[in-house]
C-alpha cells in the first residue's frame, strides 16, 4: 500500500500493529490509517466479528494487509493469545494501539460495583496487561499508543468512573514511558475531544449542540482526526515524544 504522504518518516512498511477494539469507530479509523501508512494491522474485536471483517475487507481492497483477531481485552486470559496470533500471522509486533474501552454515564447515586469493575477491567486493567504482553516482544523503536480522553483533565460529573479510568490511563502513559524509554520503546497518549462515531450516533446531534460551541475549531471530531494523530505518534516524526498525552480535541475543554 502506498504511503499517503511524501514524508518518508510516516512510512510504516514492514511494521506490524495491533489496534484493540478496532471493529468500528475510532479504532477502525486508526486501523485503516496505519494500513494506509504501510503497516500490517491486526484488527482486534471482542464481539463485532462482522464489523471487524468489514474493516479488514476495506484495508485489503485498498491494497493493505490486515487480519481480524477476536479477543476480549477485559479478560486477562485472552490477551496473550492475541499477541501470539499476531506473531503467527505477521512474525513480529512493532506498534500497539490501546483503543478498546467502554463508556457509561453515571451519577454518585447510580454507580455500582459492577459498573466500576467493568470500566476498570477494560479501560485500565486490560490496557495494562495488553501493554505488558506487547512489551515483552516489542523491539527497540516500538511504540505503544494509549487512547485517553479530554475528560482525564477536565472530568464530568456525569461520568465519574469513566473519567477516573482515563485519568489512570494518562498516569500509566507516563510511567510506562519512563520504564520502557531505556529500551527505546515510546509510549504516547492521544486524548480525543467529542468525536462522532457509530456508538454515539443516536445522540450525536444533542452532543454536537453542546460540545461544538465549546470547541474553538467549531466542529465535531471525526475518527480520521484521531487516526492522523496516531499516525504521527507512531512515526519517526514523533521520535522525541514519549510519556505524554496529546490533546486532539479542536481546542475543546470538557
pLDDT of res. 9? 66
| Domain range 8-248, CATH class | alpha beta
Instruction: Name the band, by pLDDT with cuts 50, 70 and 90, for residue 245.
Output: very high
- pTM for this model (two decimals): 0.95
CB hemisphere CA count around 76 (13 angstroms):
7
User: Is residue 62 pLDDT above 60, yes or no?
Assistant: yes
Q: Mean pLDDT, to the nearest integer, of 195-223?
A: 90
Note the pLDDT tens digit of each residue in 19-37. Answer: 999 999 999 999 999 999 9
Q: Mean pLDDT, to the nearest integer, of 71-88?
A: 98
- Look at the alpha carbons of 136, 137, 141, 146 in this order and tell me if their dihedral is positive or negative: negative
Note the pLDDT tens digit of each residue in 94-118. Answer: 999 999 999 999 999 999 999 999 9
For residue 43, the cross-strand partners are 19, 68
Residue 68 and residue 55 in contact, taking contact as beta carbons nearer than 8 Å: yes
Backbone angles phi, psi at 197, to 5 degrees: -140, 170
Instruction: Name the band, by pLDDT with cuts 50, 70 and 90, for residue 121.
Output: very high
Catalytic residue IDs? 162
Ordered by start, the domain boundaries in the chain are 8-248
User: Is residue 83 pLDDT above 90, yes or no?
Assistant: yes
Q: Mean pLDDT, to the nearest integer, of 161-190?
A: 98
Amino acid at each position: 500500500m502506498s504511503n499517503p504522504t511524501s514524508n518518508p518518516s510516516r512510512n510504516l512498511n514492514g511494521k506490524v500493529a495491533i489496534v484493540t477494539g478496532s471493529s468500528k469507530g475510532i479504532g477502525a479509523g486508526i486501523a485503516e490509517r496505519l494500513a494506509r501508512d504501510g503497516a500490517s494491522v491486526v484488527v482486534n474485536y471482542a464481539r463485532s466479528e462482522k464489523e471487524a471483517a468489514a474493516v479488514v475487507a476495506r484495508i485489503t481492497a485498498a491494497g493493505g494487509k490486515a487480519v481480524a483477531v477476536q479477543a476480549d481485552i477485559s479478560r486477562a486470559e485472552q490477551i496473550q493469545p492475541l499477541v501470539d496470533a499476531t506473531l503467527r500471522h505477521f512474525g513480529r509486533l512493532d506498534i500497539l494501539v490501546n483503543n478498546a474501552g467502554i463508556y457509561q454515564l453515571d451519577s454518585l447515586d447510580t454507580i455500582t460495583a459492577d459498573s466500576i469493575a467493568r470500566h476498570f477491567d477494560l479501560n485500565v486493567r486490560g490496557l495494562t496487561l495488553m501493554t505488558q504482553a506487547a512489551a515483552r516482544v516489542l523491539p527497540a523503536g516500538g511504540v505503544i499508543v494509549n487512547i485517553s480522553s479530554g475528560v482525564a483533565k477536565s472530568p464530568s460529573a456525569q461520568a465519574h468512573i469513566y473519567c477516573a479510568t482515563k485519568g489512570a490511563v494518562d498516569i500509566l502513559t507516563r510511567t510506562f514511558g519512563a520504564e520502557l524509554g531505556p529500551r527505546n520503546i515510546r509510549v504516547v497518549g492521544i486524548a480525543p475531544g467529542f468525536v462522532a462515531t457509530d456508538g454515539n450516533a443516536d445522540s450525536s446531534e444533542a452532543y454536537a449542540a453542546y460540545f461544538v460551541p465549546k470547541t474553538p475549531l467549531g466542529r465535531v471530531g471525526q475518527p480520521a482526526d484521531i487516526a492522523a494523530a496516531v499516525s504521527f505518534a507512531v512515526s519517526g516524526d514523533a521520535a522525541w515524544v514519549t510519556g505524554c498525552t496529546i490533546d486532539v480535541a479542536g481546542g475543546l475543554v470538557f
